[in-house]
Structures are given as C-alpha cells and as structure tokens.
Amino acid sequence: MHRSDNRGSWEFQPEDTLIEKTGKFPSSLAQANLNGQKKAGSAVDVPSLAYRNEDIMSESWRQHRKHVFVLSEAGKPIYSRYGNEEALASTMGVMMALVSFVQAGGNMIRSIFSDEHTVVFLQKGPLVFVSVSATRQSEQQLRSELLHVYHQIVSMLTQASINRIFERRKNFDLRRLLFGSEKVLDGLLDVMDSDPSFMLSAVQCLPLPSSSRDTLSHILQKAVTPNLVFSFLIANNRLVSVVQEKTVLEDARLKPSDLHLLFNLIRASSAFQAGEIWTPICLPLFNHDCYFYAYVAYLDPPECTVCLVLLSTDKEAFYALAECKRKIEEAFASQNALQWVTNTPLYYVGDIGVANLKHFLYKPSKVLDHHRQLPQFTCPEMEVAYRSQEERIHLLDLYRNMHNRIHSTSRPLKLIYHSAGKETLLAWVTSKFEMFACFTPLITKKSAISELTKLLRWIKKEEERLFICQLPKYSSAPQPGRSSTDRGRSDRPDTSDTGLLSLL
Amino acid sequence: MLMISPRMASGMQEKQYTPSLLSFFIYNPKFGPREGEEEKKILFYHPIEIEKNEKIRNVGLCEAIVQFTRTFCPTKPAKSLHTQKNRQFFHEPEENYWMVMVVRNPMVEKPNKDGKPPTVEYQEEEIIDSVYGSVLQQCYSMYKLFNGTFSRAFEAGGVELLTQKLEKFFYRYLQTLHLQSCDLLDVFGGISFFPLDKMTYLKIQSFVNRVEESLSLVKYTAFLYNDQLIWSGLEQDDMRILYKYLTTSLFPRHTEPELAGRDSPLRPEVAGNLLHYGRFLTGPANLKDPDAKFRFPRIYVNTEDSYEELHLIVYKAMSAAVCFMVNVAVDLNREFCEQLDSLVGPQLTLLASDICEQYNINRRTSGPEKEPQFKFIYFNHMNLAEKSTIHMRKTASVSLTSVHSDLMKILGDINCDFARVDEDEEIIVKAMTDYWVVGKKSDQRELYVILNQKNANLIEVNEEVKRLCATQFNNIFFLD
C-alpha cells in the first residue's frame, strides 16, 4: 500500500518539465520560478511563459510535439502555445486564408497530412483553431483537443459574449479579454497530453472506502444555501465527492469535459493557492452562455491538496458560500475526516497480483445509473517504467491509437490485441465496460487472458472503493422562498444574470 | 459510381455513392513564378472544361498548402488534404513537378419529403490515405514507363512536348482508374509469382538463356505464366509497373478474343502455323500478311541511372508469355520478328505444356485444396511477392473481393499501424460483425488473415492462424 505523497499521478512536477521529442531538456527554463517557491500540486506556468518568446524561426520551435494556434475569423492572432502569437501573425494569416479558400468553394477544410505532421482545423463561431502535431494522433482526437481549447475559452468568457463581440467588431483583438489566461490554455494542453481523462471523457475518483465517502458527502449535502448547484471536494486532481442540485443530477447535466475544464482553471491559476477565491466560470456543456460563480478554498493549508469548490448561480453569494465552507470545515474537523482523504492509499498494479500487467484503464459503461450520471474511470499509479513525463505520454499515445481504432465512426471494433516490441496492448469494449491494458511484451495470449480475468475480478471486488457509486443531491432544496412550480426552471442558472457580460 | 441500396418503406431510396475522381492535375511552380503567369504552371488538367481561373486557384491552393507544411518540416511537405467533400493527394515525383489527384468522398443521398432536395451526407472516414496515395504514385510510374521522366521530355522539347505527352497519356489512363475498388493491394503494388518446382524453373531459365544468346539484341527478358511472374531480368521497380501493365491492360485485351468461340469474328487470325501456338501480343498481329504495318511499344527503364529506352516485345504461347526488351536504336523489322517467331514459338509451346502438366501434378500431390478456407493476403517487401485468396479475377475494370469492404479497410488500417515502426508486430482485432482479422508483420513480410468464426476467442483464433502459417508459410512468422 502506498501513501498518496502529495502528488496526483497525472500532474507534472516542477522538476520534470516537458522533455521534447528532441530530447533537449529546457534547463534554462527549469531554474526560473515566478513565486520564488515550488508549490506541489500546481501546474507549472513558468516554462510556458518562457515559450512565449521563443524564436519562431528556430529548429526547436519547429520540432515541438504539438503546436496549437487560435485566431479569429479575421485572421487576427489570439493564442499560440509556443512562440509569440504576434510574431506568428503572418503564419496565422495563411491558415485563415486556407480556411476561407476552401469555404468559398462551399466546402470545409478538415486537415492536412504529411509524413511528419498532421494539421487539424476547427472553426467554432468566429474563432478558428489549428493544431500542428507530430504525434500521429488521429484527426478526430486532435480535433476534440481543439474543441476543449475552445471550451476552455468559453469557460472564461461564455459563448454568447464571444459571438456578440465579434458580431459588433470583426477585427476585435480577443487577447485583450484573455490577457493573463495563456497559462490556463498552456496548462490544458499539457495535461491533455498526459491525462487519459480527456480521451475517455470520464472522471477519475480518489479511491476511498464507500463509508468514508458517504460521510464526506453527507457533510457536503447539508451545507446548502440558495442557488447552490454544485459542491465538489477534490484532492490532488481526483474527485472525492460531488453533490448536485436535484434536477441537475436527474438530468445528468454534469459532463466530464466541464469538470476537466473546471479542474484546469483552478489548477492553472496560482492565485488560488492562498485564502478564498471567488470567480465567475462558465461550464460550456452545461450552459455555454452564462456564468456560475465559484467559491474555491483549500481545506488543508499550507499543503493545499484538498480543495472545496462551490458553484452558485448567484453572484452575490460569496458570504453565504464562505459560511457553507466554515460549516463543512467544522464537520470535517469533528471527525478528523480530512485525514481520510489525505491518507487514503492509491493503488499500484503490483497490488493486484498480476505479474505481467504494467498498466490499465478501466471505464464502466453507462448501464448503471451512477455511471450514466457521471462517467468515471480508474487506473493504477504509474510504475517505475512509466514515471517520466515522456514515458507517460508514450503509453498514452499507444492507448490513444487503439481508442481511435476501436471507436472509429466508420469501422468500429470490439477488441484489439497488439503485440509489439516493447509492450503488448489490449483494448476491449463490451456492453459493460471499456478497457485498455498494457502487458509486458513477451506475454503469451493465454497468460494475457488469465491476467485480464484476474484484473476484472479484482475491479469487481474493489468497485465500491474505486468509483463513486452513489451520486448525492442536496439534503434540502437550495431555493427557499421560490414557488414550487418554478423549481424546475429556477434551479437552472439565471440567463439574465450575465455578470461580466454587462461590462462589455 | 452510384450504388442503390433500397431501404424500407414508401419507395424512398437511400443512394450510396462510392469515391470518384473529381480532378487530376500536374503543375510546376517554376514555369510561372511571376504574377500573371500562373497559367504557365499548369501542365495538365482534368477535367479540361474547368474554367481557367478556377484551375489557377486550385493549383494555387495546393502550392499554399505545400508551402505551409514546409514551415514545420521543410523536407516533408503535405501528402494529403482532407475536406468535408473530398480528399486531395499530393505527389512530387520529380523536383518541382507536382501531381494532384482529387477524390470525392463517398456520400449518401437521403431523400426528403415534400419535393425538397435530398440531403447529402459525406462519409469522411472511409478513404484510406495510403491506398489512394499509392494509386497516385502508380499513375506517375505508369506514365514514366511509357514516356520517360518529365524532366527529360522538357529537356528534349520544352513545355510543348511535355504537355503533349501528358495529355496523350493521362487522357486515356485516367479512364482506367477505378477508385471505388482500390484497397490494400494498391499499397503493395506487388507481383503474383507462379509456384514452380525446381526442375521446371531451371528449364525456363535455360530457355531464357538460350534465347538471349541467339537473339543477342535482347537486353532484358521476363517470363510469365497465367498472369503470374516466373522470372525477370529487370529491376524490381520497373518490373512491378510493367507487371501491372501486362496483367491489367495488355493480357486482358488479348484473352477475351482467345476465349471467344471458334467462329467468332473476335478470334485472332491463327497464322495457320501448325508447328506452334506462339504469337505476338505487341508488334505484328499476323506475320503472314506482308503489308501489315506494326510497331512495338516503347518503355523506359532504369530511369535513375542508365535511363534506357527499349522496344517491348510480348510473345505468347498458350498460357506462357515472354517479354523481350530490345534497345530502341535497333530497327525491329519483319525479318527479326520471323526469326524470333521460328526460334521461340516451338520452344515456348513445349515449355507451356510442360509447365501445365507439372502444375497439375503438383496440385494433385499436394492434396485437396486447404487454401480456400483461409482468406488471406500475403506480401513480401523484399521480392514484392504478393498473394491474395480474397481477390478474384482482378482485371482492368474490377477486382472483386470475397469479403465486405469494411474488412478490407480494417486491413488497410492495420497496414498503416504496421508502417509506423520497423519492428515485428502482430495485431488481432475483432470487428463488430464478429469477424476476426489477424495481421502479422515479420521481417519485411506482412500477412493478413480474415476469419469468420463468430464464437471463437482469442486463443482459438491464434491457433487457427498458427496452423495456416505452418502449412502455407513454413513458420516464417514466429510470434506466439
């Protein structure tokens, strides 16, 4: 059994900043540190800032694993993952010209393939997204990553305001509104490379005995206030517990993608480390035109690994939510509940007793209610072989390739078994689950099947601990004073309350 | 091409359209570098009816895309462009000469009620890039076989000669492209070899040696039986394109008349020579007619180094066909042809019946056909040997497969995955229809097996394939 040592397995640490395909370690970047201290559990913004000024004519710029560009329909640069986007203005102009040219022919450009790169285009409203990738990921996966970038921008501005801004002024420079948010997008792109949650469209939970989790949820359930829609308890990037408003839960409106964006926003803003934070955030799949107001506080300073996030539709609710947090803290303290979260053991493949299995991803299908309401997956901590960022990304690339084949829109598959030089891989989709597994290379098929069977049995046995099996709703309706006939609609975020929008 | 698939009620039919050629063009940016000169870049454009400015715009788009991808990797620019409605494939066979093929995506037309125009849904994931990219490359190889390189033509007669040659060749060749039936075999561009015992093989070798000695003008020889290759003196790349030409164009043209009935006007003029069954497939159709004019097609081989232009003589007796290649400088007159006919005719006839006999003996001794139950495709990158028990009657017009096209696409996907790394690999998949597909790559050889065993599990499938490898491939593939 291993103690969770203050690091989520999918976070990357200040030490192991990206080792590019060239193998060059950006040592000069590793030294600089904005805040003067390393904070465990935070995304690293510093290297990204240094990439802001990278020379776009250099070989190293060309050799990045994945470029992402965001521009407006007018060809104006908005964001570039590497290099200064202003310096890339003419390159972006070319991209826009390609998009427009094909559009003029009544057609839509999708992608360009060459031996080394795949270029993928996505247009959403007035924004154009381009990915230039040396990863050999499929077009569909690259496009879905671009869609996440779009949604992250929406999470900060809302779709309605983006559309309205550009309707009024085609030449608007969106950087004015996104100033300081580059690191959010940088962080998103980094985490998408090494975190399977995006590929699986599912959430990874902190393994916790169901009794403990129920107790924590119960405490959250009781801390209600009007207009509270979501209460999240997050530890090291894993979901511990989520309580939702009744109709939102019943309609399964919480989508993993929104959750990933929320986590990323919290993680990327180093300001969230200290004290309480109050910020608007839009959940694009929930409702892309309005804001929630998020109250964020860490319950365990100074380690700051356990985070409480309360989302309300009321922008004046700060004090009410602060009061909820106080109640929750009190209740936790009385049972020493925080310890359950910080001390809970994460599991390794070795704990399961399958000798040749190196790693796996397991996602139950939507047959059971709680998985329909919140798609989840589980995977073990990385073993020594996959500790470095580069190796993690390599393993994930292998999984991604199989995921792409098995879920092909044109010729989907039920099973893939791939024996290669360094590993043997398996992908399997059934009506009950989908899973990806990585074995040692010389395993025989007989052994693979028997180990797989052992694994499935183990997962079944540990089910209650690995997944959130009950999704709770608030104990009392968070809307006293509203008529019961309104409840259905008034529990949705108020579309007239646009907060930031009224400033534009 | 339109395929109608009738659906349910009310007589409303969904129409399925297969991929088809939208346009094909060849350009060289160096020929029109300045503004206003764009039209000069275009060396060939199909369809010809397209308005001049649109041609210029389409070529411009390709140039822009190639340039754009060079920003990220100067040496490896774009190979394909995917759009909603079509795919464009790019190939630069010689420096600055670009060939582009635009293929319309397969689509489904769904009828609408109330006289509204039908909705068209494009199927964007169907076309496999490696397949059509190979088809485009083959277009160049075939052109080059009969016309030599672009640069040589330009050197010899400038743009005028080059455009003339391109027009003459591609106008006809493009009509023979059947894009709806391209698949993995197009990626391989392989050669089917005729299985022979050592004795017969030696007989053929000595026959070739004898003929080459007697007819000292012959530079290269190739020997085929039944549309399959036995021996070739040509370089691999040249032989593979010549093989494609012979089996998809020349031989089919001549087999149909042969199969025609005795009194059919199609039946070739048997020269009345009862000594042998040999005749020319290229050159003089009837040696007995002294006034008949004839010429041999010219081919270009070894274009990378010695660059040779040769006459292609194809001579056939029953199921055996020999190709003799002679330097163009030589004038192949009637005398030479008669000499060849009397020398080769009888020997080849004898050899052909020998081979036939030996082949029948082999088939009897090897026992009942174990093969048919295994649907497989095999390809060896080293000698280009290819074998498929899935394709039937591959002719110029159509190659029918005995498996669903989706399964062929899965093979194409596995081949793409194999191409990513150089190691030995094995990929086994179970399709939604419960068919199993096994792909094995070992040491430059690839094998794909399709098993229709719905209730089999992974281990059973593995055992089946092991059996196939043991009987057919003598344990070339070593994986568990």
B423 conformational bin, left if phi > 0, alpha if psi -120 to 50, beta if neither = beta
Supply the pLDDT for residue A478: 52
Task: Using CB atoms, pick whichever of B65, B67, B427 lies closest to residue A418.
Answer: B427
Q: What is the predicted ipTM?
A: 0.91
**Across the interface, do B126 and A136 touch by the CB < 8 Å criterion?**
no
Q: Do A98 and B126 touch (CB under 8 A)?
A: no
Contact A421 B423 (CB under 8 A): yes
**H-helix or E-strand containing A308?**
strand A306-312
| Cross-chain Cβ contact B413/A411 below 8 Å | yes
Best CA proximity match to A220, nearest among A327, A318, A81: A327
E strand map for A195-268: 203-204, 228-235, 238-244
pLDDT band with cut points at 50, 70 and 90 for residue A272: low
Residues of B in contact with A122 (CB under 8 A): none
Averaged pLDDT of chain B:
89
- Residue of A109, A116, A408, A445 to mutate for B, most B C-beta atoms under 10 A: A445
Question: Using the beta-carbon criterion (under 8 Å), do A413 and B84 form an inter-chain contact?
Answer: no
- A95 in reach of chain B (CB within 8 A): yes
Q: What are the sequence ranges of the domains in chain A? A: 48-179, 203-345+472-491, 349-466
DSSP state of A407: T
Calculate the dihedral angle through the C-alpha atoms of B349, B351, B352, B357, rounding to the nearest 10 degrees.
130
pLDDT digits (tens, 9 = 90+) for A383-423: 776 778 888 899 999 999 999 999 999 999 999 999 998 99
CA distance A446 to chain B (A): 7
Q: Which pLDDT belongs to residue A236? A: 83
Is residue A342 within 8 Å of A306, Cβ to Cβ? Answer: yes
Who among B68, B123, B430 is closest to A94 (CB)?
A: B68
CATH T-level assignment (fold) for domain B374-472: Beta-Lactamase (3.30.450)
Nearest to B427 among A67, A411, A416 (CB): A416
Of B73, B125, B423, the CB nearest to A114: B73
State which residue of chain B sits closest to A447, comparing Cα positions: B459
> pLDDT higher for A503 or B227?
B227
Q: Extract the tokens encoding B164.
A: 């003339």
Query: Do A110 and B430 lie within an 8 Å CB cutoff?
Result: no
Q: Tell me the shortest Cα–Cα distance from B231 to chain A, in angstroms.
A: 35
Cβ-proximal residues to A465 (8 Å cutoff; 6+ apart), any chain:
A207, A208, A209, A210
Nearest Cβ partner of A419 from B65, B417, B425? B425
Integer Cα distance of B124 and B104 in angstroms: 10
Question: How far is A280 from A504, CA to CA, in rounded Å?
Answer: 15
Residue B430 one-letter amino acid: K
Q: Do B428 and A136 touch (CB under 8 A)?
A: no
Residues of A in contact with B480 (CB under 8 A): 419, 444-445
- Angstroms from A338 CA to nearest CA on chain B: 46
Determine the residue among A57, A110, A411 to mutate to test chain B binding: the one whose Cβ has the most chain B Cβ atoms within 10 Å: A411
In this predicted structure, what is the pLDDT of residue A40? 36
Q: Is A451 left (phi over 0), alpha (psi -120 to 50) or beta?
A: alpha
Architecture of domain A203-345+472-491: 2-Layer Sandwich (3.30)
Distance from CA of A270 to the nearest CA of B (A): 33
Coil, strand or helix at A289:
coil
**pLDDT tens track for B225-259:** 989 999 999 999 999 999 999 999 999 888 755 55
- Cα dihedral B348, B352, B353, B356, rounded to 10, equals 170
Q: A469-473, A493-497, B143-147 — which is least confidently predicted?
A: A493-497
The dihedral region occupied by B104, where left means phi > 0, alpha psi between -120 and 50, and beta the remainder, is beta
Q: Is A409 on the interface with B (CB under 8 A)?
A: yes
Give chain A positions within 8 Å (CB) of B410.
Answer: 411, 413
Domains B7-182 and B198-257+266-365 share a fold: yes
Of B248, B251, B238, B386, the C-alpha closest to B320 is B251
Cβ contact A414–B430 (<8 Å): yes
CB–CB contact B427 A411 (8 Å): no
| C-alpha span between B228 and B217 (Å, rounded) | 25
The Cα of A410 is separated from the nearest Cα of chain B by a number of Å equal to 6
Residue B257: the pLDDT is 58
Tokens linked to A447: 């052994």
Name the fold adopted by B198-257+266-365.
Beta-Lactamase (3.30.450)
Number of C-alpha atoms within 13 angstroms, CB side, residue B254? 21
**pLDDT computed for residue A41 by the predictor:** 37
In this predicted model, which residue has the larger pLDDT, A480 or B433? B433
User: Is residue A114 over pLDDT 90?
Assistant: yes
The stretch A159-163 carries a mean pLDDT of 96
Counting one residue from chain A and one from chain B, the pairs whose CB atoms sit within 8 A come to 139
Residues of chain B with pLDDT under 70: 1-12, 256-274, 366-372, 393-399, 475-480
Task: Using alpha carbons, select from A402, A365, A414, A418 the residue that is nearest to residue B432.
Answer: A414
Helices (DSSP H) in A255-368: which residue ranges? 256-268, 318-335, 337-343
Q: Which of B68, B72, B443 to mutate to test the interface with A (most CBs of A within 10 A)?
A: B72
Q: What is the pLDDT, as a whole number, of residue B275?
A: 72
Chain B residues close to A62, C-beta within 8 Å: 71-73
3-state per-residue secondary structure call for A410-471: CCCEEEEEEECCCCEEEEEECCCEEEEEEECCCCCHHHHHHHHHHHHHHHHHHHHHHCCCCC
Which of B83, B409, B458 faces A417 most closely, judged by CB atoms? B458
Contacts of B410 (CB under 8 A, 6+ apart): A411, A413, B429, B431, B437
B contacts of A405 (beta carbons < 8 Å): 413, 417, 429
**Percentage with pLDDT > 90 across chain A:** 65
> Do A414 and B432 make contact, defined as CB atoms within 8 angstroms?
yes
CATH number of A349-466: 3.30.450
Cβ-count burial of A36 within 10 angstroms (0-12 exposed, 13-18 middle, 19+ buried)?
exposed
Burial A76-94 (b: 16+ CB within 10 A, else e): bbbbbbbbebeebeebbeb
Q: Are B178 and B187 in contact (CB under 8 A)?
A: no
Crossing angle (nearest 10°) for helices A256-268 and A139-157? 60
Whole-number percent of chain A with pLDDT over 70 = 84
Provide, as residue numbers in chain A, all residues whose Cβ is less than 8 Å from the Cβ of B78. Answer: 112-114
**Test mutation, B458, B459, B460, chain A, max A CBs within 10 A:** B458
**Chain B contact for A102 (CB, 8 A cutoff):** yes
pLDDT digits (tens, 9 = 90+) for A205-227: 999 999 999 999 999 999 999 99
A208 strand-pairing partners: none
CB B269 within 8 A of CB B285: yes
Question: Distance (Å, rounded) from C-alpha A358 to C-alpha A61?
Answer: 34
Mean pLDDT of chain A: 83
How far, in Å, CA of A456 to CA of A450, rounded?
A: 10
The encoded tokens of residue B139 equal 């277009």
Rounded Cα gap, residues A345 and B171, in angstroms: 71
Q: Does A445 touch chain B (CB under 8 A)?
A: yes
User: What DSSP character marks residue A120?
Assistant: E
| Nearest-by-Cβ selection for B129 from A109, A113, A409 | A113
List of chain B residues whose C-beta atoms are within 8 Å of the C-beta of residue A107: 83-86
- Domain spanning B7-182: CATH 3.40.30.20: no
The alpha carbon dihedral of B192, B196, B202, B204 has a sign of negative
A contact test, residue of B122, B429, B432 with most A CBs within 10 A: B429
Please give the residue that has the higher pLDDT: either A87 or A256: A256
Q: What is the dihedral of CA B441, A436, B434, B414, to 10 degrees?
A: -30
Q: Do A139 and B432 touch (CB under 8 A)?
A: no
Encoded amino acid at A240, one letter: V
Q: ω before A302 within 30° of 0 (cis)? A: yes
Provide the β-strand partners of residue B21. Answer: B103
A48-179 CATH choice from 3.40.50.300, 3.40.47.10, 3.30.450.70, 1.10.8.640: 3.30.450.70
B66, B68, B441, B465: which to substitute to probe chain A, counting the most A Cβ within 10 Å?
B68
Give the model's confidence band at A504: pLDDT under 50 very low, under 70 low, under 90 confident, else very high.
very low
Residues in chain B: 480
Q: Tell me whether the CATH fold assigned to A203-345+472-491 matches the one assigned to A349-466.
A: yes
Dist. CA B133–CA B139, nearest whole Å: 10
Answer whether A113 sits within 8 Å of B82, measured CB to CB. yes
Nearest to A117 among B69, B409, B458 (CB): B69
Whole-number Å distance between alpha carbons of B455 and B177: 39
d(CA A112, CA B439): 28
C-alpha B321/C-alpha B165 separation (Å) is 29
Nearest CA in chain A to B407: A411
The residue ranges of every structural domain in chain B are 7-182, 198-257+266-365, 374-472
A158, A159, A129: which is closest to A146 by C-alpha? A129
CB B417 within 8 A of CB A427: no
**Residue A421 amino acid letter:** G
CA–CA distance from A343 to each of A300, A465, A502, B108, B406 (Å)? 13, 14, 45, 57, 51
Q: For residue B137, list chain A residues with Cβ-Cβ distance below 8 A.
A: none
The residue of B56, B57, B65, B80 whose CB has the most chain A CBs within 10 angstroms, and thus the best one to mutate to test that interface, is B65
Tens-digit pLDDT profile for residues A363-387: 999 888 888 899 999 999 887 767 7
